[in-house]
Amino acid sequence: MLRAVHITDCALVSGLGVGVDHVWSQLLAGKTAICEVERFDTKNYITKLAATVPDLVADAGQSRLYPLLDMLLEQLPDIPPQARLITATTKGAIDLLEMHCRQHPDGGEMPAQVQLGTVPSWVAHKLHLQDCGINVNAACTSSTLAIARGAALIAHGGAEVVVVCCADLVSEFVFSGFSALQALAVEASRPFDRERSGLTLGEGAAALVLMSTEAAQRYDRVKLARVLGWGAANDANHITAPARDGCGLIQTIKQALLQAQIGADDVAAISAHGTGTVYNDMMEITAFKAIFGDRELPLSSIKGALGHTLGAAGGIEAILALKSLAAGVVPPTCGLDTPEELVAQQVSNCCQSFAGDMLLSTNSGFGGVNAALVLQRGDQ
């Protein structure tokens, strides 16, 4: 029999500030972190907008990733040294690569910290963990899959405590790439809006501590929520575009429901990937309709407020989903004006209340990858 997996501690940094409660209150108030980028020149790109962490600076020649992680990890309580570690980042200290290429246009040896494997090593050292950790890099599902991996370790008896730590930066390298793909909205993103035209990038970091029931009791931790189910699938449709029939996400959600041993009717609300791109949002709507039929579940996306934080997105969304479950409310979908007709009664630019103990959180990414979590209300 699989063991229960609980989320006992969380930490969060986003464009709306530092700390879970602070970011949650800002979201409920309808605030957005999206504004003009100041850390690099945007004149050659299709937009000037992103959601960056205020006052995130690094020493000369260093990456902003590590001050970001410092802001995150200082929020956590002491972690048992035998805890397992899983990090999630798609680009890590990518700003070091930018600096290196500008300083050495003819090549030269890359800084070691550009390699993603250095991220879990750094976090493990910072938290005084015995495990050197692994990094999950699976596009925008990275941290959702990291949580699923950590939950599976505990459920199958491979660990008592797992720390999941995810982070990604807004860098000119990434900004230019999404601009070249014509994936960025000129104005702020508008998830699930009929006039949506693209995503807005964001940066942030999240950490979640997962524990077995026995470990939570041993370390006297409050069980904030339970990771009840998880799923993953790849639609293998296109390097950047999702399958329009939602086949990969449908399979993913079915896996998560099966793992959780619940039916679709038990889900009370949805935290969607909701990037604000034309095809992603419609693919998600198609998948949700296939799973939930005509049920008008409250549906929200936080990317209109925090931007798309890439590998950190799922972790940030999972933490905020815990707040949703505790409060019985999903936050506003920022930027929403005229909802897509098929979900016009499900999405709102105001808070929506719901009754129930289970929430579905989904993410999708380049290469056709999809991931989902079923989260259950905890002790609070």
Model confidence pLDDT, tens digit, residues 2-11: 999 999 999 9
Task: Determine the pLDDT at residue 115.
Answer: 86
Judged against a pLDDT cut of 60, whether residue 353 lies above it is answered with yes
Task: Determine the pLDDT at residue 376.
Answer: 98
Judged against a pLDDT cut of 80, whether residue 136 lies above it is answered with yes
| DSSP one-letter code for 264 | G
pTM higher than 0.95, yes or no?
A: yes
Q: Which of 10, 140, 165, 247 is catalytic?
A: 140
Active site includes 308? yes
pLDDT per residue as tens digits for the range 219-241: 999 999 999 999 999 998 888 78
Q: Which of 6, 165, 273, 334 is catalytic?
A: 273
Judged against a pLDDT cut of 60, whether residue 138 lies above it is answered with yes
Query: What are the start and end residues of each CATH 3.40.47.10 domain in the chain?
Result: 5-218, 227-377
Q: Is the CB of residue 55 less than 8 Å from the CB of residue 61?
A: no
The mean pLDDT value for 15-25 works out to 98
Task: Give the model's confidence band at 380: pLDDT under 50 very low, under 70 low, under 90 confident, else very high.
Answer: very low
Mean of all residue pLDDT scores within the chain: 95
The mean pLDDT value for 274-298 works out to 96
Task: Determine the pLDDT at residue 155.
Answer: 98
The mean pLDDT value for 344-366 works out to 97
Task: Determine the pLDDT at residue 113.
Answer: 82
Provide the CATH number for the domain formed by 227-377 in this structure.
3.40.47.10
pLDDT per residue as tens digits for the range 80-91: 999 999 999 999
Dist. CA 132–CA 124, nearest whole Å: 6
Window from 23-37, 69-83, 104-118 with minimum mean pLDDT: 104-118
Judged against a pLDDT cut of 50, whether residue 204 lies above it is answered with yes
Query: What SS3 state is found at 14?
Result: strand
Judged against a pLDDT cut of 70, whether residue 194 lies above it is answered with yes
pLDDT per residue as tens digits for the range 317-349: 999 999 999 999 999 999 999 999 999 999 999
Percent of the chain with pLDDT over 70: 99
Active site includes 140? yes
Q: What DSSP string runs through 26-68?
A: HHHTT----EE--SS--TTSS--EEB--TT----TT--THHHH
Judged against a pLDDT cut of 80, whether residue 174 lies above it is answered with yes
Q: Does domain 5-218 have CATH number 3.40.47.10?
A: yes
Q: What DSSP string runs through 167-185?
A: EE---HHHHHHHHHTT-B-
